[in-house]
Amino acid sequence: MLNIVRPKIEIRRVSKAYASDHGPVLALRDTDLAVGEGEFVSIVGPSGCGKSTLLYIVGGFLDADGDVIIDEKAIMGPGTDRGIVFQEYALFPWLTVEDNIGYGLDRQHVSATDRKKIIDRLIGVIGLTGFEKRYPRELSGGMKQRVAIARTLACDPAILLLDEPFGALDAQTREIMQDELLRIWLETQKTVLLVTHDVTEAVYLSNRICIMSARPGQIIEQFTVDLDRTRPREELVLSPDFNTIRNKVWLSVRRQALAAGQQNVDPS
Amino acid sequence: MLIRPEAVSAGAARLIGRMSPLVLFIALWYGACSSGLVNSEFLPTPTKVAAALADLVSGGEIARNLFVTLFRAAVGLALGSICGIWIGLMMARSERFKAYVTPIVGGTYSLPKSALIPLFALWFGIGNVTAIAAVFLACLLPMIVNTYHGVVTTPKVLVWSAQALGTTDRELPSQVLLRSAMPDIFTGLRIALGFSFVLAISTEMIASTSGIGKLIFLYGENGTYDYMFAAIACIVAVAFVADRVTLLGMHRLLRWHESAAADYERRRL
């Protein structure tokens, strides 16, 4: 069990309103959340609840009322301490695989030898040796997302922000990618904030799951997941412990979805 | 290097295939002249034009005038492109700048720029400056409009990813925005390239003492239509080559783009 001694990320009374044709829409209302160092926290909720919005605010991409505090300092915008991976990969299409991974290193003027060392290691980690000179358009969805993860890891951010990173992948690829992410997290012990609508994914990966209410979003329930991550997937997923917590989370999300008049939560 | 004979004959067959519409065009032209359908005083036969072309090319006059025209077109195009890209980028990045520029761009977009040539001649006199100014103005608008569109449609996740990877606001245009806009910028450049020839030549017809435009105008005035057509053929050939070079550059620079390869194949003659 992880104790939050010193929160790595603190979200304090964050509210966000969007302008629309019918007046302002409140996406988030007084949201609070603290994430400990090295913790893997998932945010699950019905679609349109503002969970991605919350992640973008932590990333510093969107302005909001309230404070986001990283290492006891309020953020002023995006920073290399927070790496982000989007569902739509967001690779630079004009750069090859190795130049995409090296992009952040180039911004920091890392020397050519160090750059090459880091890229070679990460290409090995994501298993794309031989694809260094390919452009993103020549890669499959799973390969693109591996490159996006490697590009983020190259800058060695303390925090990973993941916005439904495997949402566009097929079921088999998604499971492989989840296992890779779990392995990377166990090795690097980074602080991870994951937004997903896949309950099984959240339970499989996180220490803690936060359930968000329908709009305006607020974290209304939290579940601690205390499972042994080193067990093989099939054993873990089929275990009674896993399913007990999965069912609890699913019911909680479903209540929110029904409250929002939506029934589009994937029960898988 | 070994060249396979079947590759050569396939290449030759493709070349013949491509040339056949041109051959047909010349045959129809010849037919129209020799049948008396049109007065050969006003439409000289292809052979007469070819003879005039040979005469023009062997003399230094055509090369000198071609150089003058190309210089004016190239300088106007370069200045118009640089300014157009900058204005388009600024419009996409600053709401205030956009609010100032949009009425001017919108108001002058459909104005035929050649209508301003007499005014430019009055301001800048006869010669290079007037021609370059007219070309500049004509090239500016397609570059602004296409760059703006390209920058504005840059996916926000690309900008955010770049920022999270340490890209500063100053680096953003060169590292992300203009690269993402590159396919649109090239579309604008091809349109501007066409405009640059049109404006350079029409300015020379009205307000110049040199250039291909002036040459065409003079031959027309004198009624030496075979030489006029020969001069037109020269500028058509040069414009065609310029467009192919642009296309080749586009293909090279946009190798990463999804549709670039297909686009290139489709547009190539």
Closest listed residue to residue A51, CA positions, set A193, A190, A157, A188 = A193
pLDDT of residue B241: 92
**ipTM computed for the complex:** 0.90
Q: Is B162 on the interface with A (CB under 8 A)?
A: yes
Contact check, Cβ <8 Å, A94/B180: yes
pLDDT of residue A266: 47
Among B161, B168, B170, which would you mutate to test the A interface (most chain A Cβ atoms within 10 Å of its Cβ)? B161
User: Nearest Cβ partner of B166 from A59, A93, A104?
Assistant: A104
pLDDT of residue A207: 92
Give the type of residue at A147: V
Using N-to-C axis directions, what is the helix angle for B61-93 and B182-207, rounded to 10°?
A: 130
Provide the number of CB pairs (under 8 Å) joining chain A to chain B.
Answer: 71
- CB half-sphere exposure, B232, CA atoms < 13 A: 14
pLDDT of residue B269: 40
Q: Is the pLDDT of residue A141 over 60?
A: yes
Q: Is A231 on the interface with B (CB under 8 A)?
A: no
Q: Is the pLDDT of residue A268 over 50?
A: no
Q: Is B170 on the interface with A (CB under 8 A)?
A: no
Contacts of A103 in chain B (CB under 8 A): 162, 165
Q: What is the largest CA-CA distance in chain B?
A: 74
Q: Is B95 on the interface with A (CB under 8 A)?
A: no
Contacts of A137 in chain B (CB under 8 A): 256-258
Q: Is B269 on the interface with A (CB under 8 A)?
A: no
Q: Is A232 on the interface with B (CB under 8 A)?
A: no
Task: Express each pLDDT in A115-128 by its tens digit.
Answer: 999 999 999 888 89
Per residue of chain B (269 residues), what is the pLDDT tens digit? 556 666 667 778 888 888 888 889 888 888 888 887 888 778 888 888 899 999 888 888 888 899 999 999 999 999 999 999 999 999 999 999 999 999 998 888 888 888 889 999 999 988 899 999 999 999 999 999 999 999 999 999 999 999 999 999 999 999 999 999 999 999 999 999 999 999 999 999 998 889 999 999 999 999 889 999 999 999 999 999 999 999 888 888 888 886 655 555 555 44
What does the alpha-carbon distance between residue A138 and residue A156 come to, in Å, rounded to a whole number? 26
pLDDT of residue B73: 96
pLDDT of residue B2: 57
B/e letters for A91-114, b = 16+ CB within 10 Å, e = fewer, are bbbbbbbbbbbbbbbbbeebeeee
Task: Express each pLDDT in A80-113 by its tens digit.
Answer: 999 999 999 999 999 999 999 999 999 999 999 9
Q: Cα angle at B249 between B248 and B253, to 5 degrees?
A: 120
HEC sequence for chain B: CCCCHHHHHHHHHHHHHHHHHHHHHHHHHHHHHHCCCCCCCCCCCHHHHHHHHHHHHHCCHHHHHHHHHHHHHHHHHHHHHHHHHHHHHHHHHCHHHHHHHHHHHHHHHCCCHHHHHHHHHHHHCCCHHHHHHHHHHHHHHHHHHHHHHHHHCCCHHHHHHHHHCCCCCCCHHHHHHHHHCHHHHHHHHHHHHHHHHHHHHHHHHHHCCCCHHHHHHHHHHHCCHHHHHHHHHHHHHHHHHHHHHHHHHHHHHCCCCCCHHHHHHHHCC
Contact check, Cβ <8 Å, B164/A90: no
Contact check, Cβ <8 Å, B164/A86: no
Count the neighbouring beta carbons within 10 Å of the beta carbon of residue A55. Answer: 22
pLDDT of residue A139: 92
